[in-house]
Amino acid sequence: MTHLPYGGIATFARAPIVHPAAEWRADVAALGVPFDIALGFRPGARFAPRALREASLRSVPPFTGLDGVTRLAGVTFADAGDVVLPSLEPELARQRITEAARLVRERCRLPVFLGGDHSVTYPILRAYADVPELHVVQLDAHLDFTDTRNDTRYSNSSPFRRACEEMENLVHITTIGLRGLRFDPEAVAAARARGHALIPMTDVAGDLTRVLERLPRGKNVYLSVDVDSFDPSVIPGTSSPEPDGLTYAQGMAILAETARHNTVVGLDVVELAPSLDPTGRSELLMARLIMETLCEAGLDGDRHA
């Protein structure tokens, strides 16, 4: 097997390809969701699953750090390919996403979903309807809890609203990195009414430790990483950049802390638009972010508490 990132067929972390519905088992499985017609500005997230797979080839586990500790050794990976999506038909697309996510969940310990725009998180979450007391930790510049935007209830502004309406087990969301000039007051009120934690970016910049303390502990957590939570200088490849975002280290600290102290049941990376970043670093860094998060998820047996 080659070690050159540009060599070989690009599967996630050089994992074997599996069909979601086939017989297979893995600790970690990637599923691509190349769907980006629900965003309202600059498309391109449909190309992110493939870009993340290619970028993952610079970060193939296991990893031995400068400290000599080896991580993700013995952890098995699979690549379940992409959800087979229709053109244009959003309702059908959502069904297919939920179904594929369910199949992958049943076959691995930790599914990694490669979006797509943020609207895909709603049909993905539907595959978690059986998880008791599901928590979400969402890195995001935007709340994405809007009821209706531009005449649709299924845009990338609404995934968590739809999921919360439908899933009684989705008990709490922690949204970190909020900033921007404009919020939907109804959405903010609705999220607060449900008791969600809305943590603005200024809190992260001001005192990261206190933010870390507000994260859930001992829960079943789904991690949703909207790459626009990061500063546009860190991740330029996204539809809707907002200034003064997370550094890589801040984002990673939040993900690591969450992963160490909870059971991560799923992880998505969304809103990555590779063609908007000709330097290529957006996908390289986000592929590494996934790997580092996996390193903290207790997959190698020594779960942190």
Q: Helix (H, G, I), strand (E, B), or coil: what is residue 170?
A: strand
CB of 132 to its own copies, least distance (A): 31
| 100 or 131: CB nearest its own copies | 100
Q: Are 29 and 266 in contact (CB under 8 A)?
A: no
292 binds its own copies (CB under 8 A): yes
**Which residues within the stretch 50-89 sit at the binding site for its own copies (CB under 8 A)?**
50, 53-54, 58-59, 63-66, 68, 79, 81-89
Residues 6+ apart with CB under 8 A from 288: 55, 58, 59
What is the C-alpha to C-alpha distance for residues 39 and 17, in angstroms, rounded to an integer? Answer: 29
- Please identify, among the stretches 103-111, 122-130, 258-266, 278-286, the one whose residues bind its own copies according to the rule CB under 8 A: 278-286
DSSP string covering 260-292: HHSEEEEEEEE-B-GGG-TT-HHHHHHHHHHHH
List the beta strands (DSSP E) in the chain.
Answer: 26-33, 63-64, 70-71, 77-82, 108-115, 134-139, 170-178, 197-200, 220-226, 263-270
**Which residues within the stretch 4-43 sit at the binding site for its own copies (CB under 8 A)?**
4-11, 17, 32, 34, 36-43
CB of 216 to its own copies, least distance (A): 21
Determine which residue in the list 21, 92, 106, 214 makes contact with its own copies, applying CB under 8 A.
92
Amino acid at 259: A
**Beta-sheet pairing, 70-71 with 77-82:** unpaired
| 77 or 154: CB nearest its own copies | 154
| 129 or 248: CB nearest its own copies | 248
| 295 or 297: CB nearest its own copies | 295
Determine which residue in the list 20, 44, 177, 216 makes contact with its own copies, applying CB under 8 A.
44
**Which residues within the stretch 138-197 sit at the binding site for its own copies (CB under 8 A)?**
149-152, 154-155, 178, 181-185, 188
Q: Which residues pair with 17 in a beta bridge?
A: 79
